[in-house]
Amino acid sequence: MKLEGSYDVRAPRSKVWAAFLDPEILRQAIPGCEKLELVGGDEYKATLKIGVAAVKGTFEGKVRLLDKKAPDSYRLAAEGSGGPGFVRADTLITLSDAEGGTRVSYSADVQIGGLIAGVGQRMLGGVSKMMADQFFNRMTELLTS
């Protein structure tokens, strides 16, 4: 599944870049994230509680930040598994100047398997978009408060 989008955040690019690399800010912004801890270098261990339709569960996984080109772009490789199945994502995140702040664009290739994959592509796409909206709205709140 391919996911793409962009959001404008009302904060300077250097501040947005720093926030996107701060585990505590990310933990607060990621929907369902219960734990996000640095385990070394640019690798994090994560615990998320996620529900899609009737399929709910806890995912344990890891997130790695790769190809960092401050303050322009980086790649985020994530994988997690739990009762409802597994998720793997490879996402390119790009920051650019926008009127009144920073435009954050993302392009992700996502693989989903197990029970959660049975929910169907259309619903997963909608849920993914909703979670991205929640993440960026919360990130904007954290950056502008």
C-alpha to C-alpha distance for 142 and 63, rounded to whole angstroms: 21
pLDDT of residue 118: 82
Domain that holds residue 82: 2-144
> For the chain, what is the domain count?
1
Confidence of residue 23 (pLDDT cuts 50, 70, 90): very high
Rounded to an integer, what distance in angstroms lies between the CA atom of residue 63 and that of residue 56?
A: 21
- Domain CATH code at residue 53: 3.30.530.20
Q: Does a cis peptide bond (omega within 30 degrees of 0) precede residue 71?
A: yes
Residue 21's pLDDT band (cuts 50, 70, 90)? very high
Contact 124, 15 (CB under 8 A): no
CB-based burial label for 47 (10 Å; 0-12, 13-18, 19+): middle
What is the per-residue pLDDT across 75-108, written as a single tens digit (0 to 9) for each? 999 999 998 899 999 999 999 999 999 999 999 9
The pTM of the full predicted model, rounded to 2 decimals, is: 0.89
Whether the bond into 31 is cis, omega within 30 of 0: no
pLDDT tens sequence across 30-49: 999 999 999 998 999 999 99
Judge whether residue 141 has pLDDT over 90: yes
